[in-house]
Structure 1
Amino acid sequence: MSNQLLIIGFVWPEPKSSAAGSRMMQLIEAFQEADYSITFSSPCAKSDNAFNLDSIGVSQVAIALNNSSFNEFIANLNPDVVLFDRFMMEEQFGWRVSENCPNAIKILDTEDLHCLRKGRQQAFKDKQAFDTSYLFNDVAKREIASIYRCDLSLMISEVEMDILRNQFKVDGALLVYLPFLLETISAEAIKKLPKFENRDHFITIGNFLHEPNYNGVLYLKETIWPLIRKALPKAELHIYGAYASQKVTQLHNEKQGFFIKGFAEDVHEVMQKAKVCLAPLRFGAGLKGKLIDAMQNGTPCVMSSIAAEGMFRDFEANGFIVDDAQAFVDKAVQLYENEELWVEKQSNGFPIINQRFSKVDFQKKFLKQLDDTFLNLQEKRLNNFTGQMLQHHTMQSTKFMSKWIEAKNKV
C-alpha cells in the first residue's frame, strides 16, 4: 500500500509563471516516483495559470483558513507525510495536523529563506549595508519557529543552509539541501540549440508579483538599459513574466527598445531566441529560476551577486557576475558582441545543470533521509526540544486565535 502525502500549498502550482511553481512540480514528481499517493490542497483561489494536477493523478482539494472543516478532512485522509509550502502554511495548519495526525511527518518547503529576502529588501530601501540587524527580523522569528516545529525543512540553497546553521544555530539534522531537481542535458540536445548568429536581443524573465523581479526591471529601465542601448542602438530588451500590472506595462517603450512581453507560454522558446539574459537583482534569496532557464537553453547571463547566490559554487558561471552598473553594462555589451566569449560562457552552463542540480542524485538522497525519519521519528522529535516547546506554545496561542476567528466568522 502506497504512502499518503498531503501538500498544503500557499498557492496552486503555476510552473509556467514562477520558479516556485516549477519547484513544486519537481517535488510532486519525486514523491510520485517513490509511489506516494498525493493530495494537493490550498486555501488560495485558483488562477487560469494553475497546473491541472488531476491530469497527473494528484487529487485537488480546496481548504479554508481558520475553519475546523480541515480537522475532519485531514483525519479522514490520515496522511503519512504532510508538506507545507512555505512557513505561512505551517503556521496556519501545522497545529491542526499535529492534533489530528500526530504521527505524520511534517516537512516544510521553505522555497527561499523569507527572512533573508525581507531583510535584504529593507536594507536596500534604507540604503544601508545588509547585516544581522536586518536578518533577525520579525519574519525570521516566525520562519525559524516553523522550521523547528517541522521534522524536516527543504532548503534550495547551500548559502541559506549555512545561514540557518551559523547565524540561527539551527540543528543540521532538521535541514535537507534539496535544490532544483533537473533532468540532464544531453550532448545531442546541446547541439540542437540555436547558435550565436541565430540569436538576437537581450531577455529577462520573472513573475512580477515577486518584488525583487519588478525592482530588477525598474533598475534595467532607469539605469542599465539606457547605457546598453547607447552602445548597441539596434538591440532590444524583451521582458517576460506573469502578472504584469499597469505599473509594469507602462514601462514598455518601443523607441527605447524596451519591450514588456508579459506571460511566456514557452520559456524555452523565448530564451533560445535571445542572445544574452540580464538579471541585475538588487535583493532576494533562494535560487533564481531565470538563471536555470538560461543555462538549460544555452543563453549566457550577466547577473548580480544576489542573482548568482547559491548557483555556481566552484563552477565557472555561464556569464559574468557584477554589481556595479557600468561594469554590468560593459560585460553585457562584450558578451553580446564577442562570439568566442559567448560560446565559452554558454558552455559553462551545461555542467552546472548536469552536476550541480542532477535530479537523480538529490532525489535519491532526500527519499533516503525521509525513510530514515520514518524509522526514527520519535527519537528525532525527542532530540528537538526547541521544536516541542514551540509546538506547545503554538498549539495554545495560534490554536485559540484560530478558534476565535472561526467563532467570530459565524456571528
Structure 2
Amino acid sequence: MFKSIKLYFRLKSLASKLRKQKKELDFTNNLKYNTNVIIIDVKLPEYDKDSGSRRLTEIIKLLAKNNIGVFLLADFKEYRFTTDYVEYFKDLGVVVYEPGVDKHGKLITKNEFIKQVLPFTDFVWLHRPEIFAKYYPIVKKNKPTVKVFFDMVDFHYLRFKRESELAKDLSIMKKADKFLKLELENCKKADKVIVISDVEKETLKEFYDEDSKVVSIGNIHQYIENENPVSFEKRKDLLFIGGFDHKPNVDAVNYLADEIMTLLWKSNPEISISIIGSNPPESIIKLNSDKFRIVGYVEEVSSYFLNSRIFVAPLRYGAGIKGKIGQSLEFGLPLVTTNIGAEGFNFQENSNIIVGNSTEEIVKNILLLYQNEEVWSKVSADSKKVIEPFSTYETEQKVLSLIK
C-alpha cells in the first residue's frame, strides 16, 4: 500500500513537471512501416556494456534494415530515462518510450504507451523471463490476436543450476527451480520461443516438447578483416572482458586472480592481464595491481583486442552463447576458455587447445598459445570459420522468418 501511494505521488509529480516542459508526445505520429514490433526489455539495450544488450541492438538494426518498425520499451522507472541510449535508438528510427503527456496533459505511462501503439503492432518481442510474465497479460488483454515471442536470452534455470552446483548451495537451486517453472509457463503461452543456441534448444527439450515453436537466434558476430594486423611478436599479455552486473563474470575474475594467474606466474611472471567491464564491485576493484589491471568500463575496446596476445574467459557457470567469446573471434584473437564458455561454438580440431576444464589445463593452454607462434597463428586464422554461423546474414534470415 505504502509503495503504491509513493508511486502515485511520484507519477503525479512527474506529470506536472512534463506539463511545465510542454513535453507532449504522440508515439503514433509519422509511422513509416507496414509491419511493426514492440520490443520490451528490463532496460534500454546498453550495447557497449553487456552481451545481451549488444545482441538485442543488432536484432533491432536488422529489423530497421528490413523496413520493420520498432517500438522500444524499457521496464525502468519513469524518472530514469535521461540517457544517451534513447538518442542512439531514435537515430536508428526506433520509437522509444519516454515519459510524456498526451494532448490532455495526462501522463503516458508504460502501459498507456503499449495501448497506444498496439493497434499498429504485428508482433511483440518480450526479452527475459520476468518481462514476459509481466507484460504478456497486458499485451494480450489489449490485443488478443497479436503474436508474442518469448526471448529467453539464456536458459536461466540452467545458469542457476550450474551456480548451485559450483557453490554447493541449495538455496540457489531453489531459485533455479522457480525460474524453470516460470520459463516453462512462458514457453506454453508464447507463439514462438527464442533460445540463444542450439545447445540450449536441446536442453530445453528435456522439459518442453513443442520443438516447432523454438527458434535459435544467437549473438551476431562479423569477422573483422585487418589488412595490417599486429604481429605475434608485438602483442603481449592477456585480456578478459565482461560486465560485472553478470555474476558469472565476477566469479571468473576471482578465479583468475585466486588460481589461474597465481599458477601461470610460476612459469612466466612477466605476463599481465587487463580486466575490462562495466560496474566492477569493490571486491573486484581491490584486485587491481600492476600485473592484474582492473580497467573497468572502456567505450572503445578494439585496441585491447588488437594488441593482447590471448583472450582468457574461465567461466565456471552460466548459460547461453557468451558474447565475449564471439567478440574475441571477431578480432581473430586466440582464446582460452572452459566448456561453459565454449558452449555453442564449434572449435573443431582446436578444441583441446582452447578449452580447459581445470586450472592446470587452462594454464597449460595459455602457455602453449603464448609461446608458440605457429599454434597461435592457426587458431587466429580459424576464428573466421568458427563465427560464420553467427554472421549478420545467418541471423537476419532467422529473424525475418519470425517476423514475415
1:17 aligns with 2:49: yes
The match for 2:74 among 22, 30, 42 is: 42
Q: Give the structure 1 partner of residue 139 of structure 2.
A: 97
- Counterpart for residue 337 of structure 1: 371
Q: Matches of 1:174 and 1:61 in 2, distance apart? A: 29
Q: Which residue number in structure 1 is paired with residue 8 of structure 2?
A: none
8 A contact 2:354–2:365 mirrored in 1: yes
Stretches of structure 1 lacking an aligned partner (at least 5 in a row): 372-411
Could you tell me which of 280, 304, 324 is aligned with 1:290?
324
Residues 112-156 of structure 1: CA deviation (Å, up to 9, x unaligned)? 11111011111111079x9xx889711110011112211112111
Q: What is the alpha-carbon distance in structure 1 between the residues aligned to residue 348 and residue 374 of structure 2?
A: 23
Aligned to 2:212: 173
Query: For residues 123 and 63 of structure 1, what CA distance do their matches in structure 2 show?
Result: 43
Verify the 8 A CA contact 1:9 1:42 in the aligned structure 2.
yes
Whole-Å separation in 1 of the counterparts to 2:75 and 2:40: 8
Q: With CA pairs under 8 Å and 6+ residues apart, which has the higher RCO, 1 or 2?
A: 1
The aligned runs of 1:121-200 (5 Å cut-off) are 121-126=163-168, 137-165=177-205, 167-185=206-224, 189-200=225-236
| 1:273 and 2:313 are equivalent in the alignment | no
Hey, what's the Cα distance between the residues in 2 that align with 1:141 and 1:346?
42
Q: Are the structure 2 counterparts of residues 91 and 316 from structure 1 closer, same or farther at C-alpha, using a change threshold of 3 Å?
A: same
DSSP-derived class of the 2:42 partner: coil
Q: 1:53 to 1:37 in 2, by over 3 A?
A: same
Deviation at 1:170, TM superposition (A): 3.0
Task: Map 1:307-386 onto structure 2 (within 5 A).
Answer: 307-312=341-346, 314=348, 316-317=350-351, 319-353=353-387, 355-371=388-404
Matched AA of 1:265: E
Of the structure 1 ranges 340-349 and 43-52, higher mean CA displacement relative to structure 2 is found in: 43-52
Q: Contact 1:42/1:63 (CA < 8 Å) preserved in 2? A: no
- Whole-Å separation in 2 of the counterparts to 1:22 and 1:235: 30
Alpha-carbon separation, structure 1, partners of 2:347 and 2:191: 28
Q: What does residue 103 of structure 2 align with?
A: none
Q: Does the 8 Å CA contact 1:267/1:293 hold for their aligned counterparts?
A: no
After TM superposition, the structure 1 stretch with the greater mean CA deviation from structure 2, 95-104 or 317-326, is 317-326
CA displacement 1:274-314 (0-9 Å, x = unmatched): 10011111100011111111111121111011010112275
Map residues 395-406 of structure 1 onto 2, 5 A cutoff: none
* SS of match in other structure, 2:165: helix
The Cα RMSD (Å) is 2.4
Aligned partners of 2:64 and 2:92 also within 8 Å? no
Normalised by the size of structure 1, how large is the TM-score?
Answer: 0.82
Q: Say whether 1:217 aligns with 2:247.
A: no
Instruction: Describe the superposition over 1:250-294 as per-residue Cα deviations: whole angstroms up to 9, x where unpaired.
Output: 11122xx11101112112221111100111111000111111111
Distance of aligned partners of 1:334 and 1:183 in 2 relative to their CA distance in 1, 3 Å threshold? closer
3-state SS of 1:192 partner: coil
Asked whether the 8 Å contact 2:129–2:183 carries over to 1, the reply is yes
State the one-letter code of the partner of 2:141. Answer: E
SS at match of 2:153: coil
Q: State the TM-score, normalizing by the size of structure 2.
A: 0.83
Q: CA, structure 1 residues 72+136, in 2 after alignment: closer, same or farther (shift >3 Å)?
A: closer
SS in 2 for 1:244: coil
* Distance in 1 separating the partners of 2:366 and 2:64: 41
CA distance in 1, matches of 2:140, 2:98: 20
Partner residue, 1:249: 285
Work out whether residues 222 and 330 of structure 2, in 8 Å CA contact, stay in contact via their aligned partners in 1.
Answer: no
Measure the CA separation in 2 of the matches of 1:60 and 1:277.
Answer: 36
Give the deviation of 1:43 after TM superposition: 2.1
Equivalent residue letter for 2:268: L
Determine what percentage of the aligned residue pairs are the same residue. 25
Separation of aligned partners in 1, 2:240 and 2:97: 35
Amino acid at match of 2:161: G
CA distance, structure 1, for counterparts of residue 259 and residue 84 of structure 2 = 32
- Contact 1:121/1:284 (CA < 8 Å) preserved in 2? yes
SS at match of 2:140: helix
SS state of the match for residue 354, structure 2? Answer: strand
Q: State the shift of 1:208 in Å.
A: 0.5
Is the Cα contact below 8 Å between 1:115 and 1:139 reproduced in 2?
yes
Contact map agreement 1:268 1:293 (CA 8 A) in 2: no
Moved runs in structure 1, 4+ residues, more than 6 A?
A: 133-136
Quickly say closer, same or farther: Cα 1:58–1:315, change in 2 above 3 A: farther
1:107 aligns with 2:149: yes
- In structure 2, the CA distance between the partners of 1:73 and 1:175, relative to structure 1 (3 Å rule), is same
- Offset at residue 370 of structure 1 (A): 3.2
Correspondence for 1:229: 265
Task: Tell me how far 1:209 sits from its aligned partner.
Answer: 0.7
**In 2, distance between residues paired with 1:157 and 1:249?**
33
Residues 355-378 of structure 1 deviation map (CA, whole Å, 9 limit, x = unaligned): 22122123113312433xxxxxxx
